[in-house]
Amino acid sequence: MESIGRLLMIAGAIILIVGGAIYLAGRLNLPLGQLPGDIHIEGERFRLYIPLATGLLISLLLTLILNLADRLWK
């Protein structure tokens, strides 16, 4: 049971950090979701939004941060 509790606390901390980063990005007027690679298609009865460039940017940043953290802990 202790391992499940620890896992839930770590997951909660990660969600809190990601939520804070998204909140700060909105407050700082960063153009996440409006990059030139994000796909917006609007029809008469539907909207399609694919944040391709934003997803790639976030993936790159998270990869760099996690690799740096891994190197610091080893």
pTM, whole model, 2 decimals?
Answer: 0.64
Query: What tens-digit pLDDT sequence spans the chain (74 residues)?
Result: 788 998 899 899 989 988 898 888 888 888 877 889 999 999 999 999 999 998 999 899 889 988 998 898 87
Domain boundaries, the chain: 1-30, 32-74
How many Å apart are CA 54 and CA 63, to the nearest integer? 14
How many Å apart are CA 25 and CA 14, to the nearest integer? 16
Q: How far is CA 52 from the centre of its chain?
A: 12
**Residues 6 or more apart whose Cβ sits within 8 Å of residue 4:** none
